[in-house]
Amino acid sequence: MSPSSRPNGAGGDVVDLTLLVAEELPCWWSTHMPFQHKTFNFFADREDHPLPLRSRNGPYQTRWMLMDEHTGTHVDAPAHFIPEPGSGLPNEGPAGETTIDRVPLGQLMGPAVVVDVPDDLPGGSAGVSPVIPPDLLESFEGEHGRFEPGDVVLFRGHWDRHYQPGAAGAPYCHDPLVTRSGPGWPAPEPPAMRLLIGRGVRCVGTDSPSMGSCHDGAPVHIEALSQGVCFVEALTHLDALPVRGAWFCAAPVNLARGTGAPARAFAVLPSDRT
């Protein structure tokens, strides 16, 4: 199925950048609560189903979910890694008061700048993420122009190719993170994030399950979230976007006190794209 569609009204195609969330897909962080989605009420009692269905309240269908805040495509708010000021905890600061319901929606939208991440980055191995260095970003600027305030920088490492149902999806998150038996996804370290912050970038996305490395994800989260930057993690279909010219938006669930929330992320392609 194509990730793009034509919107009603003016503008270019809309590209859905959001992972499908399902129990058979590796949509949850592998050491957190697994995603569950169950039928509460069905149209009528059904005994012929593998799991019997019940009509408890009438002839309609509804389901309930058990979902970690950081399931599927989601936004990290600063409070995810930064404690509130006065807590006495390491890395406390004002950004710790910014939960997902306090993140301005305008921060999560803007011109998309897509940075291709090469497959031959150094430092990767089983259970270890290769590093996205600042010189990769400087080289990008030399070819495609300087990052500007308001840009949404998206790391395109094609890691979403591992997002597969069942055992085939283990390389996406489980193997690098839990068993350390598979290669880690590419991840920027603090020097690269400092470069983006210095350019005025306030939203950074990736098609990996986390912006942080699989072997030590905290430093880059602390570096950016402490400055009020937000991450959009576990994106997909970034290969459908040009390097520049698309407009990005991520709309998270308005969840009170959330450290993050699942989001619908999409991009609008330039209308004159050929």
Q: What is the pLDDT of residue 52?
A: 84
The span from the CA of 173 to the CA of 208, in Å, is 9
Same domain, 110 and 130: yes
Domain boundary among 49, 67, 85: 67
Same domain, 51 and 112: no
Percent of the chain at pLDDT > 70 equals 96
The span from the CA of 14 to the CA of 237, in Å, is 11
**Does residue 257 sit within a domain?**
yes
The DSSP code sequence of 212-246 is S-SS--HHHHHHHHTTT-EEEESB--GGGS-SEEE
Q: What is the pLDDT of residue 44?
A: 94
Distances (CA, A) of 179 to 71, 129, 272: 20, 14, 47
Segment 86-128, tens digit of pLDDT: 999 999 999 999 999 999 999 999 999 999 999 999 899 999 9
Same domain, 120 and 236: yes
Segment 23-55, tens digit of pLDDT: 999 999 999 999 999 999 999 999 887 878 999
Query: Domain containing 56: what range?
Result: 34-67
